[in-house]
């Protein structure tokens, strides 16, 4: 019946919404960050890279990890920067237009590997891991996840998703602002409690929680669909 089709479409929209937004926006965000690495690499000009591991920024920006560590298989800063920016543009377009498709997560994963190898930086990889997992679950049954997350916790996580999602997006700009205001710089101590890592741990936690809460929101949508189907 037409009414049933409308209801099914609405439930599908709700189910896909959180996972789709998480995959798409995180993919776009990672593309922007990768392009920013490429921009600073290109600014270093037509000079050879000394090692596989490089610093995208030739000086230090005023926030932790301000030298923007990266790696590249291309032994030239200008070529590396151009390749990173081109890959970032493709990633942004894919994340905007095609991430919800059947191969959305697979292609994004391939682009992630390319971006990593052409100087896109290590920072975007954590975002892209979450984006690829989220993309792979769009429109798929979440039976295994449903069995792992207790219903009460699932409901709480589903309601938490918008707040975690926004917090994860503003963390890096907030880090930059804090660096400007409080004159934070890179902490070069090789310990797990240096300032760089202490500011990274919460960010990674937000990314992981964003994925889990998006899955929980998907489970809630699928559960609503099953209840509605049983009632008709």
> Which residues are CB-neighbours of 185 under 8 A, at least 6 positions away?
60, 62, 63, 64, 66, 179
* Backbone phi and psi for residue 71, each to the nearest 5 degrees, phi listed first: -140, 155
The pLDDT tens digits along the chain (232 residues) read 444 454 445 445 544 589 999 999 999 999 999 999 999 999 999 999 989 999 998 887 766 667 888 999 999 999 999 999 999 999 999 999 999 988 999 999 999 999 999 999 998 999 999 999 999 988 776 665 666 788 889 889 999 999 999 999 999 888 878 777 777 767 667 676 777 778 888 999 999 999 999 989 888 877 665 444 444 3
Take residue 87 and report the two structure tokens written for it. Answer: 């890959």
Q: What pLDDT is recorded for position 219? A: 85
Q: What pLDDT is recorded for position 200? A: 84
Domain count for the chain = 1
Place of tokens 């970032």: 88
Which residue(s) pair with 118 in the sheet?
72
Q: What pLDDT is recorded for position 3? A: 46
Q: What pLDDT is recorded for position 98? A: 94
Q: Which of 89, 155, 81, 150 is nearest to 121 (CA)?
A: 81
Q: What pLDDT is recorded for position 17? A: 83
Q: What pLDDT is recorded for position 175? A: 81
Range of the domain at 129: 2-231
Q: What pLDDT is recorded for position 146? A: 63
Distance (Å, rounded) from C-alpha 143 to C-alpha 178?
Answer: 42
pTM of the model: 0.84
């Amino acid at each position: 019946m037409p009414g049933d089709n409308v209801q099914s479409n609405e439930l599908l929209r709700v189910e896909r919404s959180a996972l789709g937004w998480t995959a798409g926006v995180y993919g776009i965000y990672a593309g922007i960050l990768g392009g920013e690495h490429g921009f600073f690499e290109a600014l270093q000009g037509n000079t050879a890279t000394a090692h596989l591991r490089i610093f995208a920024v030739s000086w230090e920006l005023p926030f932790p990890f301000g030298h923007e560590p990266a790696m590249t298989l291309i032994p030239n800063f200008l070529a590396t920067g151009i390749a990173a920016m081109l890959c970032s543009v493709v990633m942004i377009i894919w994340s905007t237009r095609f991430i919800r498709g059947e191969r959305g997560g697979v292609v994004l994963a391939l682009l992630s590997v390319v971006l990593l190898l052409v100087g896109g930086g290590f920072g975007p990889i954590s975002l892209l891991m979450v984006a690829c997992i989220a993309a792979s679950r769009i429109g798929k049954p979440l039976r295994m996840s449903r069995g792992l997350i207790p219903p009460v916790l699932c409901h709480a996580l589903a309601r938490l998703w918008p707040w975690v999602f926004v917090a994860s997006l503003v963390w890096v700009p907030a880090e930059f602002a804090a660096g400007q205001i409080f004159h934070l710089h890179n902490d070069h101590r090789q310990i797990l409690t240096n300032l760089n890592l202490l500011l990274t741990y919460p960010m990674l936690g937000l990314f992981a929680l964003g994925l889990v809460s998006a899955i929980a929101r998907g489970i809630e949508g699928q559960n609503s669909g099953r209840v509605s189907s049983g009632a008709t």
